Structure 1
Amino acid sequence: MWALRRASTPLRNHGYRVRTSYVFGKLEVPYFGEGNIAGFGTTATLSGRFISFERNNLATWPSSGIYISSHGLSTQAGAENSGEEDNVEDGFSELDETHPTTRSEISDDDENVVDDGTQNELDLPEGETELAEKISRKWVPSELNEAIWNAPALSVTSALDKWVSEGHELSRDDISSTMFGLRKRRMFGKALQFSEWLEASGQLEFNEADYASHLDLIAKVQGLHKAETYIAKIPNSFRGEAVYRTLLANYVLANDVKKAEEVFNRMKDLEFPTTTFAYDQMLILYKRIDRRRIADILLLMEKENVKPRPFTYKILIDAKGLSNDISGMEQVVDTMKAEGIKLDVDTLLLLAKHYVLGGLKDKAMPILKATEEVNSKGSRWPCRYLLPLYGELQMEDEVRRLWEICEPNPHVEECMAAIVAWGKLKNIQEAERIFDRVVKTWKRLSTKHYSTMIKVYGDSKMLTKGKELVNQMAKSGCRIDPMIWDAVVKLYVEAGEVEKADSFLFKAVKQYGMKPLFDSYRTLMVHYARKGDVHNSEKIFHKIRQSGYPTHFGQFVTLVQAYLNAKTPAYGMRERMMADNVFPNKALAGKLAQLDSFRQTAVSDLLD
C-alpha cells in the first residue's frame, strides 16, 4: 500500500489537516455515475509530484480511525510544492467529466434517447458489476417494460394498475428486469413512479437494496435534499450501508465536497464495515476537485488496511494522467502488475488516452495495438474509444480502417466516435455524412449526439453551420438543454465571440430555467481571465456560486490570473479565499504576491 501511495500522489511536502475521530464505512457496488473512465473528456493537465507526509502525526491518531473534516482535507496556507500545477489556465480542470443532474435536466423525454445496449449507460446504485453485466447480456424488454415506456409521463401508476387488473403477476425477477430496463434507457422519472407504486401498493416487500434504489431515483429526479430527507422514512432495520453508499455516490456525482465528506464520516459513526467503495468515491471526487487530497485517502486506506480494487488503480492512473505525470502513472501500473492484476482493455484504453493527450505517440501506439490484440476475439466496443484517439494522433488510415469495420452495421456510439475522429482530422464532410446517417437511422436522438456534431463545428470555427444544426435540432423536437448550451457556448468562444457566448448562456438560463453545466461557466471564465477582463471574470465567479456549484481552489486560480493579466490589485483576495476554506499553495501564493505589487501607495497617488 505504501508503494501505491508513493506512486499515486501528485504533491510534495504538503501539511494536511486531518482530525482524529472516526472513519467511514462499507460500500461494494460499482460506481456507474463515473461513466467509462477511459472516455474522452478532459485535456487539462497538471504536473505531478510526490507527497511526503508528516508521519509523526500518526502517533496521535486513535485506533478508532481518522475523521475527515467536513471543511475538506485542505492544504495549509503556504504549504510547499513545486507550484507547477497552477500553470493550467483554468485551475479547475476536470469538473466537466461528470456533471450534477438537476430535476429540470431529467424528464421522461429520456425514453426517446437512443441506447445501443452498452453497460456504460447504466447508473445502478445497488447492483454488483458481474450481476449487472449478466442481466445486460440476457435482458430483453418485457411486456411490462413496454407498458411503462408507452404510458404518458405522469400516468405510470394508472398503467400499472391496469396491468395488475388484467391478471398479470409480478415476481421480484420481473420487477428487477423492468427497473433495469428503465434505468438502461435513463427513464428515471418513470422508474421512480414505478418504485413508488411498488411501495404504496404492497406489490413488493422492500429490502435494503430496494430502498437504496428508490433513494437513488429520488436524487436523480427530485434532487439530493429530497433524497437525504427520504432516509428518515426508511425503517431503521433497512437503513444500512447500501442506503448511505448510494447517497454518497450521488453527492460525489454532484461534486458536493462538504456533503460527501459528511456522509463519508457518518458511515463510520454508524459502524459499517470498512471496504473499498467509499474510499473510491472520495478518490473520484478529489480527482475532479483537488488532486492534492488524494494522498490523504490513500493514507487512510493504508491505516485501515483497506485493499485497493482494480477500479481504485484506474482512478489513480486517471488522476496521474490528468496531472500530466506520466512517470507517476506508469508507477501505478507497475504496482498493479506487482499485485498480480492484469491490465484489462479499460485500463489499456485509459493509458492510451493519456499518452495521446500528452503527445507521446511512441508510447501510445503499442498500447493502442495491444488493446486491439487483447480484444481480437471479443466485441468491437473498443472502436468507439480507439477512433477518437487515432483521430487525435492524426492517423487517418487507422481511423478509416476501424470505421470500415463498424460501417456496415454501426452502433450509434461508434458513429459518434467516428464523427469526433473525422472532426479532429478536419474532414468535416465525412463527419457530416456519418451524422446524416445517424439522423436518418435513429429518429429521436439525445442532446449528446447533437452536441458532438456542434463541437466538431466549433473546433473548426464553423459558427454558421453550428447554429444551423441547433435550429435543425429544435425543429426535430429535441430538447435544447444545458448540454447543448455548453456546445453552443464553446462554438461561440472558438469563433472568438466570448461576449456572445455569455449572452447566449444568460438568455438560455432565463428562458428555460435550467442550471448550466459547470463547464459552460468554466469556459467563459477562462477566456475572460485570459483577456484580463476582471469585471466579467468576477461576474462568472459569482454565477458559479449562485448556481449552487461549490467554490474551490481552481476557481480562485483563474480569478487571480484575471487580475494578473489586467495588471490590477485584487484587494481582499486572501480573505475571500480564507472564507471559502481555500488555502494557496506556493504557486498561487506567488501570484498573490505579484498582485500586491500593483497596489497603490500614498506616494504613488501623489506621483500620479
Structure 2
Amino acid sequence: MWAIRRASVHLRNRGLSSGTGRISIGKSEIERCYFENCNAGIIEPQVTSIGGLLSSTRSYNTSSSSLKSRGAVLSFSSQAGADSSEEDKDDLEDGFSELESPLDTARKGSESDDDLSSKSDLSEEESILDDIQDVLETKIGGGKSSARTRADSEMTKAILAAPASSVNTVLNKWVKEGNEVTQLEVSLTMLHLRRRRMFVKALQLLEWLQSTKKLQFLESHYASRLDLIAKLRGIAKAEEYLKQIPDSFRDELVYRTLLANCVTANNVKKSEELFNKMKDLKFHTSCFSCNQLLLLYKKTDKKKIADVLLLMEKENIKPSLFTYQVLIDVKGQSKDIKGMEQIVETMKSEGLEPSTQIQASLARHYAWAGLKDKAESVLIEMEGGDISKNRWICQWLIPIYATLGKADEVERIWKVCEPNSRFVEAMAAIGAWGHLGNIEKAEAAFDKIVEKIKKPSSKHFNALLKVYTNHKMLDKGKDLVKRMVESGCTFEPLTWDAIVKLYVASDEVVKASSILEKAVKQSRNKPMFSTYLAVMSKYAERGDVHNAESIFLMMKRAGYSTRLQLYHTLLQAYINAKMPVYGFSDRMKADNMFPNKALAAQLARVDAFRKSPVDELLE
C-alpha cells in the first residue's frame, strides 16, 4: 500500500540531479494528479543521484547469485531423497513423499514448458514481457502475420511433432528434407513456442540458428536469446551472454529486454544499475523503460514512483496507457479512490480511453473499497449488451463478481463459458468459486481443464491448491499434490507457497517449515517472500524466537533482508515471548535499514523486558 507521509508542496521546488547540475522543474499534470488529494499525506522523495537516476536513500538487495527470473526452469534436485533424515521419513508417511521425487520423474514431459513461468496476479506484469516478445519476434519477420500464416508454419509443425527430440536434431533433419530456413519461418516458430511457453525449445532454436549460420543473426535474435536465457537460467547468465553480443548489435532493444527481466525478478539493484547503464550509453530514455521502473517500485518501494515521474517530466516523456494503469493500481491499492478517479480523468483528457485491463482494475479497487455500485457499473460497461458476443471479457468479470459476493452473476457468466470453457475462464472460475466457498464447483471447473488437456501444468493445479489452502482442507491438498507428481509437474514457487501455507493454515508450522526447507534445496528458483513470511509469522505468533530467527536467517540468505516487515515480524516474536532483544538497532543498521515509528514502538515494548543489573545478579 502507498506509504504517504509528507507535504506535496516541497516537490514543486525539488530538482533532478543529473550528475552535471541541479535542474529545477515543475510538476506535470499526471504528477499533480498523482500526489494531490492523498488521504494520508504526500511523499517527499529523499533524492540522491545514482548515475542520473533519482533514488531514495535506501538499501538494496545485494544478493545476485540467488536472484533469478520468475520464469526460470523449476525442477527437483537430482539428489532429492538420497539422504532422508528422520524428519524426511515423517514427510513420507504424511503424504508428501512425492516432494522427494527425483529429477528425471519431475522433468517428464517438461518440454511443454507450461509450468516454467510463475506469474504474479498483476496483469501488467504478465503482459509486459508478452509485449516485448511480440516486438522481438515480429521484428524478425518484418511484421505481424495472419492467423492462417501462423498456423501454416512448417518449422513449428516439425518441432511439435517430435517433442522428445532436441530442436537441433529435428531441424537438421528438416533442412535435409529440402526445407528452407527463412526469417519469416523463424519468426512464426518463435511466436508459437513462446505462446506455448516452450522456452527451452525456443532457446534451442536460436542456438541452432546461430551455430549453423542458416540466416543472419539480427539484434532482435540476440535480444530474444538473452530474454530466454534470463527466463531459464537467471539474470547472471543473461548478463554473461550480453557481454558476448557483438558491439554492433548491443543496442537499446537488448538492454531493454534485460531490464524487463530484472524487473520481473524484483531485482531492484540490477534494474537500477541497468537503467543507469542505458543512460550512460546515451540511449534515449523511453517510456517503456520508465514504465518498467514504475512497475518495479510499485512492488518494492512505492516512494520511488515520485522519482520516476519527476524523471519523465525532465525528459519530456509522455505517459502511455500502461503508465496510467500502474498509477491507477497504486492509488487503488491505497484505497485512495478519489485520487484513482482523478488519474482516470487526466488520462482521458490526454485522449486515452481506459483499456479492458484498466476497467478491470477500477472495478476490483471499487469492490475492495466496498463501493459495490461503482464496481457493478464498470462491470456492466465492460460486459456490453451481449456477454456471448464479448466472451473474451468473462475472464475478468468472473473473479470480480466473486469479490462482490455475487454468486448468481458468477453462475450466469460461467454458464456461458462452461460448455466450451477456455483455460483462463476455467482458472478464473476455480478462484471465484473458491472465494465464494463453493468447493464442489471449484473442483468441477478444475475438471474442465483436466478434460481438455492430457497433462495439466502446475499453474492449473495451483489454482485449486490455493482454494484448499484458503479453506484449510489439508487432506484434499495432499491428494492434489499427489496428482501433480503423478502428472509429472514441476514445482514452482507458487506451488511451494500454497503447500507451505496449507500447513500453516492447518496450524502445523513445523511441517510447513520442513516443506519450506525442501523448497529451498530442491528448487532452482528461491521461494517467494510471502512463503517465508507465512512460516515466520506463525512462529512469531507462538513466541517461538529461536525458529523465527532461523527463518529470518533463511530469508537473509535468500536476499530478502532489506524489508521492514521482516523486522516487525521478528520483533513480534520477542514481544509474544516476553523476551528482551539486544543489539537489534545495530542489526538493522548493518542491513542499511532504520526503524520507522511502528518499529520503534515495538523496540520500546521489548526494552521493557530487560532486567536490571541487580536482578541479573540475584538470579
Question: TM-score of the superposition, structure 1-length normalised?
Answer: 0.81
**Larger displacement relative to structure 2 (145-154 or 406-415):** 145-154
Counterpart for residue 466 of structure 1? 477
> Which secondary structure state, in structure 2, belongs to the residue aligned with residue 445 of structure 1?
coil
Q: CA deviation at 1:136?
A: 8.0
Indicate which of 97, 120, 125 corresponds to 2:132: 125
Matches of 1:525 and 1:374 in 2, distance apart? 49
The one-letter code sitting in structure 1 at the alignment partner of 2:331 is: K
> Which secondary structure state, in structure 2, belongs to the residue aligned with residue 516 of structure 1?
coil
Residue pair 1:313, 1:336 contacting (<8 A) in 2 also: yes
Residue pair 2:226, 2:257 contacting (<8 A) in 1 also: yes
Counterpart for residue 183 of structure 1? 194
Counterpart for residue 35 of structure 1? none
Residue pair 1:9, 1:294 contacting (<8 A) in 2 also: no
Q: Deviations over 1:450-496 (max 9, x none)?
A: 11111112222211111111112222333344332222112222222
> In the alignment, is residue 51 of structure 1 matched against residue 30 of structure 2?
no
Matches of 1:490 and 1:431 in 2, distance apart? 19
Matches of 1:48 and 1:163 in 2, distance apart? 63
Higher RCO (Cα < 8 Å, 6 or more apart)? 1
Q: How many residues of Structure 1 are paired with residues of Structure 2 in the alignment? A: 547
Q: CA deviation at 1:11?
A: 3.9
Matches of 1:9 and 1:204 in 2, distance apart? 52
For 1:139-158, what aligned pairs fall within 5 Å after superposition? 139-140=150-151, 142-151=153-162, 155-158=166-169
Q: 1:123 to 1:52 in 2, by over 3 A?
A: closer
Matches of 1:153 and 1:575 in 2, distance apart? 55
Counterpart for residue 413 of structure 2? 402
> In the alignment, is residue 170 of structure 1 matched against residue 187 of structure 2?
no
Q: CA deviation at 1:246?
A: 0.9
Counterpart for residue 412 of structure 1? 423
Sequence identity percentage = 47
Indicate which of 154, 160, 171 corresponds to 2:171: 160
Matches of 1:495 and 1:392 in 2, distance apart? 24
Residue pair 1:112, 1:445 contacting (<8 A) in 2 also: no
Residue pair 1:99, 1:518 contacting (<8 A) in 2 also: no
The one-letter code sitting in structure 1 at the alignment partner of 2:134 is: G
Matches of 1:121 and 1:141 in 2, distance apart? 27
The one-letter code sitting in structure 1 at the alignment partner of 2:225 is: H
Q: CA deviation at 1:305?
A: 1.9
> In the alignment, is residue 268 of structure 1 matched against residue 279 of structure 2?
yes
For 1:193-342, what aligned pairs fall within 5 Å after superposition? 193-342=204-353
For 1:363-402, what aligned pairs fall within 5 Å after superposition? 363-373=374-384, 379-402=390-413
Residue pair 2:72, 2:524 contacting (<8 A) in 1 also: no
Q: CA deviation at 1:411?
A: 0.3
Counterpart for residue 52 of structure 2? 67
> Which secondary structure state, in structure 2, belongs to the residue aligned with residue 162 of structure 1?
helix
Q: CA deviation at 1:332?
A: 2.0
Matches of 2:16 and 2:563 in 1, distance apart? 18
Counterpart for residue 12 of structure 1? 6
Matches of 1:253 and 1:569 in 2, distance apart? 39
Q: 1:386 to 1:550 in 2, by over 3 A?
A: farther
Matches of 1:326 and 1:530 in 2, distance apart? 33
Query: Any unmatched runs of 5+ in structure 1?
Result: 1-7, 24-46, 77-97
Counterpart for residue 113 of structure 1? 114
**Larger displacement relative to structure 2 (362-371 or 271-280):** 362-371
Q: CA deviation at 1:602?
A: 2.1
RMSD: 3.4
> Which secondary structure state, in structure 1, belongs to the residue aligned with residue 580 of structure 2?
coil
Residue pair 1:74, 1:583 contacting (<8 A) in 2 also: no
The one-letter code sitting in structure 1 at the alignment partner of 2:586 is: E
Matches of 1:595 and 1:389 in 2, distance apart? 43
Residue pair 1:126, 1:242 contacting (<8 A) in 2 also: no
The one-letter code sitting in structure 2 at the alignment partner of 1:243 is: V
Q: CA deviation at 1:539?
A: 1.7
Indicate which of 502, 505, 518 corresponds to 1:507: 518
Q: 1:379 to 1:370 in 2, by over 3 A?
A: closer
Matches of 1:467 and 1:311 in 2, distance apart? 40
Counterpart for residue 203 of structure 2? 192
Counterpart for residue 19 of structure 2? 21
Q: Deviations over 1:161-197 (max 9, x none)?
A: 1111111012211111101111111111111110011
Matches of 2:51 and 2:445 in 1, distance apart? 54
Q: Deviations over 1:491-548 (max 9, x none)?
A: 2222222222112222344456663233321322233333333322222222123234
> In the alignment, is residue 353 of structure 1 matched against residue 347 of structure 2?
no
Matches of 1:359 and 1:179 in 2, distance apart? 44
Counterpart for residue 99 of structure 2? none
**Larger displacement relative to structure 2 (224-233 or 129-138):** 129-138
> In the alignment, is residue 100 of structure 1 matched against residue 70 of structure 2?
yes
Q: 1:175 to 1:481 in 2, by over 3 A?
A: same
Counterpart for residue 30 of structure 1? none
Matches of 2:568 and 2:145 in 1, distance apart? 46
> In the alignment, is residue 431 of structure 1 matched against residue 442 of structure 2?
yes
The one-letter code sitting in structure 1 at the alignment partner of 2:130 is: D
The one-letter code sitting in structure 2 at the alignment partner of 1:51 is: I
The one-letter code sitting in structure 2 at the alignment partner of 1:251 is: C
Question: TM-score of the superposition, structure 2-length normalised?
Answer: 0.80
Residue pair 2:136, 2:224 contacting (<8 A) in 1 also: no
Residue pair 2:384, 2:390 contacting (<8 A) in 1 also: no
Q: 1:447 to 1:361 in 2, by over 3 A?
A: same
Matches of 1:262 and 1:252 in 2, distance apart? 12
**Larger displacement relative to structure 2 (325-334 or 386-395):** 325-334
**Larger displacement relative to structure 2 (298-307 or 246-255):** 298-307
Q: CA deviation at 1:48?
A: 5.9
Matches of 2:159 and 2:606 in 1, distance apart? 60
Query: Any unmatched runs of 5+ in structure 2?
Result: 22-37, 60-67, 77-106, 117-122
The one-letter code sitting in structure 2 at the alignment partner of 1:125 is: I
Residue pair 1:156, 1:190 contacting (<8 A) in 2 also: yes
> Which secondary structure state, in structure 2, belongs to the residue aligned with residue 334 of structure 1?
helix
Q: Deviations over 1:122-141 (max 9, x none)?
A: 63535349969955855326
Matches of 2:544 and 2:172 in 1, distance apart? 59
The one-letter code sitting in structure 2 at the alignment partner of 1:12 is: R
> Which secondary structure state, in structure 1, belongs to the residue aligned with residue 488 of structure 2?
coil
Q: 1:297 to 1:563 in 2, by over 3 A?
A: farther
Residue pair 2:331, 2:337 contacting (<8 A) in 1 also: yes
Q: CA deviation at 1:207?
A: 1.8
Matches of 1:151 and 1:517 in 2, distance apart? 35
Matches of 2:127 and 2:515 in 1, distance apart? 32
> In the alignment, is residue 486 of structure 1 matched against residue 487 of structure 2?
no
Residue pair 2:137, 2:191 contacting (<8 A) in 1 also: no
Q: Deviations over 1:12-58 (max 9, x none)?
A: 259999865289xxxxxxxxxxxxxxxxxxxxxxx964435479x89
Counterpart for residue 564 of structure 1? 575
The one-letter code sitting in structure 1 at the alignment partner of 2:110 is: D
**Larger displacement relative to structure 2 (399-408 or 544-553):** 544-553
Residue pair 1:9, 1:292 contacting (<8 A) in 2 also: yes
> Which secondary structure state, in structure 2, belongs to the residue aligned with residue 127 of structure 1?
helix
Residue pair 1:122, 1:183 contacting (<8 A) in 2 also: no
Residue pair 1:102, 1:223 contacting (<8 A) in 2 also: yes
Q: Deviations over 1:540-567 (max 9, x none)?
A: 2221232345633333333333333434
The one-letter code sitting in structure 1 at the alignment partner of 2:455 is: R
Q: Deviations over 1:391-427 (max 9, x none)?
A: 2222111011001111121102211211211112211
Q: 1:558 to 1:593 in 2, by over 3 A?
A: same
Q: CA deviation at 1:276?
A: 1.0
Matches of 1:528 and 1:137 in 2, distance apart? 54
